[in-house]
């Protein structure tokens, strides 16, 4: 049981763009050295992002922390040496030569799986409204709320301007 308590998550710094290679190389090194009980898991923190462009949504995966790989392991001289000498690894995150394990809270925050939505609409863009009371009206984007995934559109109506708050998928850029 004491062995399980010694296994913690560590953050390993890699060359940018080499995260996948480091993961594969490290997993091979663990297998070749028979260290599956000491180096348990290697992960690349990814997030799913929904991109909305021209009113078409597509889901893409992006690296949450480019240049970093997460390793769940028991820190010993042997495991440190295997990870540190994996091609593409530049070192552990920590102070000096001492790797600092992640707390459970920090680990949970990194792997929080809330899906994010991005849009190609910007403040000042002319948009057409696709749904609701103002369907087929055009207006200008005055505000974007990425956390609420909403846009505020100023719609000219009866010689006055009216603010309308809409979801990302309820507007499309006017052509």
- pLDDT value at residue 115: 59
| Residue 138 shares a structural domain with residue 101 | no
At 143-170, the pLDDT tens digits run 988 877 889 999 998 889 889 998 888 8
Domain of 94, in residue numbers: 2-116
Total count of domains within the chain: 2
| Predicted confidence (pLDDT) per residue in 46-56, tens digit | 877 777 777 67
Round the CA-based radius of gyration of the chain to a whole number and report it: 24
Give me the sheet containing 138-145, strands edge to edge: 160-167, 150-157, 138-145, 126-129, 171-173
Q: What is the pTM of this model?
A: 0.63
Residue 143 and residue 77 in one domain: no
Q: Are residues 105 and 149 in the same domain?
A: no
Structural tokens at position 6: 């010694």
- For the chain, the average pLDDT equals 85
Residues 108 and 129 in one domain: no
* Same-domain pairing of 133 and 110: no
Structure token pair of residue 152 = 């505020």
At 21, the pLDDT band (50, 70, 90 cuts) reads: very high
Q: Which residues contact 76 (CB under 8 A, 6 or more apart)?
A: 38
């Amino acid at each position: 049981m004491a062995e399980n308590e010694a296994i913690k998550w560590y953050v390993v710094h890699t060359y940018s763009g080499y995260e996948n290679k480091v993961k594969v190389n490290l997993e091979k090194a663990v297998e070749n050295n028979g260290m599956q009980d000491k180096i348990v898991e290697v992960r690349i923190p990814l997030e799913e992002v929904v991109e909305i462009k021209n009113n078409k949504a597509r889901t893409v995966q992006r690296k949450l922390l480019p240049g970093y790989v997460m390793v769940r392991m028991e820190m010993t001289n042997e495991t440190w040496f295997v990870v540190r000498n994996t091609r593409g690894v530049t070192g552990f995150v920590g102070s000096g030569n001492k790797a600092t394990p992640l707390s459970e809270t920090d680990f949970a925050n990194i792997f929080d799986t809330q899906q994010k939505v991005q849009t190609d609409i910007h403040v000042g863009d002319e948009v057409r409204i696709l749904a609701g009371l103002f369907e087929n009206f055009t207006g200008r984007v005055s505000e974007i709320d990425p956390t609420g995934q909403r846009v505020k559109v100023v719609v000219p109506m009866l010689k006055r301007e009216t603010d309308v708050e809409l979801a990302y998928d309820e507007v499309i850029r006017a052509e």
